[in-house]
Amino acid sequence: MEEQYINRLRDNSVYIKLEANSSVGGAIDINSLTQVLNSLNQSYKKFLEIELSKNPDVKTQNNKKEFEQFLIDSELLIVDLDFASFGAAISPNTLTAKSYHTIKNSLEVKKQSFNNYKEDVLQFNYSDEKFVERITNKYTLEERNDIYKPIIDNLVNSSKFKFYHGANKQQLKKVPSQLKGPVIEKLISTVPSKKIELKKEEVMYVMYVTSSDEVDLFGKKPKFSRVLATTKLDKPIYPYQLNELKYDSSILKFKDTLSAIVSFEDDMFFITYPDLNIEVWGDDRNEAEEAFNFALQSFVKNIFFEKDENLTDRAIRLKNHFNSILKSNVNQ
């Protein structure tokens, strides 16, 4: 009976396969496997939340308990597993569903949501400009980042393994790796296509103690009491800082210097600013800085200057935080 149940789930599942680039027998390391499963789970959960918010048959806005219970009831399951190079069939339980006061036809909603996820996310074709155009018209910038960024960062752009997907083991299709350029830039608005060579130079990071309220990394404005510490950096990973942001004909000035975290991993420079949920990368620091500026300008355009009624609660919180760090609050 249980085997028949699992077989029926497999009929509507999607099959994924990982193939290590360099290991014994193509075996996948545990960290990569955990990262992939977490990324799929994170992406699907966000996708489901967005689908529910747009479905007229779902009225869970005022019933958080039912909303969370439906998400649990719709969790992805591994319904088939091949340990050779880690192949797995994944699907939520699309055979049964609990009854909800705020969700009409909950089983059908669950089935349709997973089918949409397969079509829009797992069975993607990033080389198809029409596909990318449809996705950008269907989802907002914030929604696309929530859904696609975990997949692109940890599956598509992984340097550790090749990623395959298909309706079953016999119909697997390899997803092109290390995608860059206009398609990805349009989909998640992060990486600019222009590459700038970074001159090699020794970078000194200096930490100061100051009596002034202002803090400038290189000490141009404040009067410093003393130097606290200095250190040479192998890579230019000192913070990326902005005092203002140019947007169209406006200049948005920050109360204090906006300081983003710079790191170097897997031969890539990453710049993150968690308070606005921004993370970008580039082959060199200049490219990463351009990507950060682009992402920040996209945030201003698509969230900060957007009406609250068109934003999610999370987007509104990010918008309010951005407004609070400006020198003069802006009333949109």
DSSP string, 28-89: PPHHHHHHHHHHHHHHHHHHHHHHHHH-TTB--TT-HHHHHHHHHHT--EEEEEETTTTEEE
Kindly tell me the burial class for residue 16, based on how many C-beta atoms sit within 10 Å of its own C-beta (0-12, 13-18, 19 or more).
buried
- Residue 114 in this model has a pLDDT that exceeds 80: yes
Residue 208 lies in a domain: no
- Residue 158 in this model has a pLDDT that exceeds 80: no
Tens digits of per-residue pLDDT, 252-292?
899 888 989 988 887 889 999 988 989 888 888 998 998 89
- Pair (181, 248) in one structural domain: no
> What confidence score (pLDDT) does residue 62 get?
62
Question: What stretch of H or E contains 174?
Answer: strand 173-174
**Is residue 29 very low, low, confident or very high in pLDDT (cuts 50, 70, 90)?**
confident
CA dist 47 and 55 (Å) reads: 12
Contacts of 65 (CB under 8 A, 6+ apart): none
Q: Stretch 15-31: mean pLDDT, rounded?
A: 72
User: Which residue has better confidence, 225 or 12?
Assistant: 12
Residue 197 lies in a domain: no
- Pair (259, 320) in one structural domain: yes
- Residue ending a domain, among 188, 210, 228, is 188
Domain that holds residue 122: 2-188
- Pair (180, 242) in one structural domain: no
Q: What does pTM read for this prediction?
A: 0.54
- Pair (245, 166) in one structural domain: no
- Residue ending a domain, among 156, 188, 220, is 188
Residue 117 lies in a domain: yes
> What confidence score (pLDDT) does residue 289 get?
92
Tens digits of per-residue pLDDT, 33-64?
788 888 888 999 999 989 888 887 776 556 77
Tens digits of per-residue pLDDT, 214-251?
554 444 555 444 444 444 556 788 889 999 988 877 88
- Pair (71, 127) in one structural domain: yes
Residue 169 lies in a domain: yes
Residue 263 lies in a domain: yes
Total count of domains within the chain? 2
| Least confidently predicted of 19-28, 44-53, 132-141 | 19-28
- Pair (175, 252) in one structural domain: no
Quick one: residue 312, left, alpha or beta (phi over 0 = left, psi -120 to 50 = alpha)? beta
- Pair (243, 174) in one structural domain: no
CA dist 328 and 253 (Å) reads: 8
- Pair (28, 169) in one structural domain: yes
Of these ranges, 18-32, 170-184, 194-208, 302-316, the one predicted with the greatest mean pLDDT is 302-316
- Residue 146 in this model has a pLDDT that exceeds 80: yes
SS3 306: coil
- Pair (6, 154) in one structural domain: yes
- Residue ending a domain, among 165, 188, 211, is 188
Q: Are 2 and 95 in contact (CB under 8 A)?
A: no
